[in-house]
Structures are given as C-alpha cells and as structure tokens.
C-alpha cells in the first residue's frame, strides 16, 4: 500500500476539523448534519471546521466532504462499538454519531488513534 502516510494525515486533519466544528457548536445533532437549533453531527462539525460556516446556517447541505478527505470513501474500518460493521470512514462517522450516539470528540479521537492492525513494511 502506497497511501498510508497520506491517509493518516487525512484522518488527523479530519479529526481536527470535527473538533473545531464541535467547539463552535457545543450541541450535537443526530440524523442531520445541522439541526437548525445550533447543533451539528460529527460530519457537520467536520464540514464547519473546514469552512467556518456562519453560525446561522441551518438547512444548508454540505457539499461532498470526500473531495477534501480521501479517507472518507477509500478507507474502511470496523465499527469500534462492536457491531461488526466494516464500512468506509465517512459512513462510519455517521453510524457512530447516529446509531451509537458517540460524541464528536469521541469520534475524532477514534479517527486520530486508529486501532492499528499491522505496521506495514
């Protein structure tokens, strides 16, 4: 595999974006990127962390984040909450947020500290 370094960087940057977005909107939302009441889900926070949206954004649907974070579609991980799902990171972030109600900080931490399988080479 050639892309390991870039992927790790990607995931760290994504985690930082989520944390930045979560700082801006302390309330977490579920089932929607932005709930119109000041909350954001983990991907909404990532989006906001990148673009620093105005605080009155409500229904705006983000453009596809996978243009900015290759890992969202290209890297799959097993669900850290133990439900046997193995899906791309972008879908997993939504899954952890909506289905397991993980905090955005928890999701960011999981992104930054992957359960390393094997060190290559």
Window contacting Zn ion (CB under 5 A); options: 12-20, 31-39, 48-56, 77-85: 77-85
Asked if 87 interacts with Zn ion (CB under 5 A), we say: no
Asked if 91 interacts with Zn ion (CB under 5 A), we say: no
Report yes or no: 54 and 40 within 8 Å, Cβ to Cβ. no
Q: Which is nearer to Zn ion, 101 or 113 (CB)?
A: 101
Asked if 83 interacts with Zn ion (CB under 5 A), we say: yes
Q: Which tokens belong to 38?
A: 């000041």
Smallest distance from Zn ion to CB 6, Å: 26
Q: How far is CA 13 from CA 8, 28, 31, 47, in A?
A: 9, 20, 23, 12
Q: Which residue has the tokens 């801006």?
A: 24
**Please, which residues have CB within 8 angstroms of residue 89's CB and are 6 or more apart in sequence?**
11, 14, 69, 71, 72, 73, 75, 76, 77, 111
Q: Which is nearer to Zn ion, 70 or 85 (CB)?
A: 85
Q: Which is nearer to Zn ion, 25 or 97 (CB)?
A: 97
Smallest distance from Zn ion to CB 77, Å: 11
Q: Which of 70, 79, 98, 105 binds Zn ion (CB under 5 A)?
A: 79
């Amino acid at each position: 595999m050639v892309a390991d370094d870039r992927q790790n960087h990607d995931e760290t940057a994504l985690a930082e974006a989520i944390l930045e977005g979560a700082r801006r909107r302390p309330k977490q939302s579920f089932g929607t990127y932005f709930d119109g009441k000041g909350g954001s889900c983990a991907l909404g926070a990532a989006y906001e962390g990148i673009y620093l949206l105005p605080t009155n954004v409500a229904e705006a649907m983000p453009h596809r984040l996978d243009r900015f974070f290759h890992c969202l579609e290209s890297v799959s991980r097993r669900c850290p909450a133990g439900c046997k799902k193995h899906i791309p990171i972008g879908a997993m972030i939504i899954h952890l947020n909506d289905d397991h109600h993980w905090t955005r900080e928890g999701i960011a931490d999981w992104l930054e500290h992957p359960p390393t399988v094997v060190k290559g080479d």
